[in-house]
Amino acid sequence: MERTLKLYKEPYDERFPVVCMDESSKQHLRETRKKLPMEAGKVERYDTEYERNGTSNLFIFFEPLRGWRRIDVTEQRTAKDWALQIRKLVDEDYPQATKIRLVMDNLNTHAGSSLYKVFEPEEALRILNKLEFIYTPKHGSWLNMAEIEFSILSRQCMNNRMNDRQYLTQEVAAWVKDRNAIKSEMDWRFTVQDARIKLKHLYPTI
């Protein structure tokens, strides 16, 4: 926990970026009746009835000290999907980084073993050598800023019905482009000292 909190306070160093990673899902809901468009003095109106149209998974990688994020919309969230995302992080997002410090939760697919399931051993090892995994504690996923960024995305972009994956992908891409253009960072104010007081029950007793 303290390691995670301290990383968010360090000066930005492009050689050792701190990247937060998380996953979320979005259910697709298709309209069953045509919406009534907005008119003067009237908001857009739609029926409460809808038709389920599957779900999509979202991977987010967020670097809070630089104000950069990437979100990819995928069909699934398997070990293979995660491994492909991690290789993209290493080879495309941060090819010049010495070591990427990756903050994430303890989901069973979030491990080096997933890379070995997908890639040849030499390739898996190459990717792992560029990474330092920093796991949030159990019941402490809120320490991952990517989860907070997902919350902002949900409020600003995904608070209406998304009928299919293509539409979701377009909306999310536009939101990411706008956030990255202004380099929207995150001001993390919860300190190690605060953690020792407010989360005393999580620390071991000697």
- pTM given for the model: 0.83
Whole-angstrom Cα distance, residue 63 to residue 48? 38
Instruction: Inform me whether the pLDDT recorded for 191 exceeds 70.
Output: yes
The pLDDT tens digits for 26-79 are: 888 776 667 667 778 877 766 666 678 789 999 999 999 999 999 999 999 999
Domains and CATH numbers, the chain: 2-28+49-202 (3.30.420.10)
More confident residue, 44 or 137: 137
Can you spell out the DSSP letters for 87-132? HHIIIII-TT-S-EEEEE---TTSSHHHHHHHS-HHHHHHHHTTEE
Query: What burial class does residue 184 get, using C-beta atoms within 10 Å of its C-beta: 0-12 exposed, 13-18 middle, 19+ buried?
Result: middle
DSSP three-state, residue 171: helix
The region, left, alpha or beta by phi > 0 then psi within -120 to 50, assigned to residue 183 is left
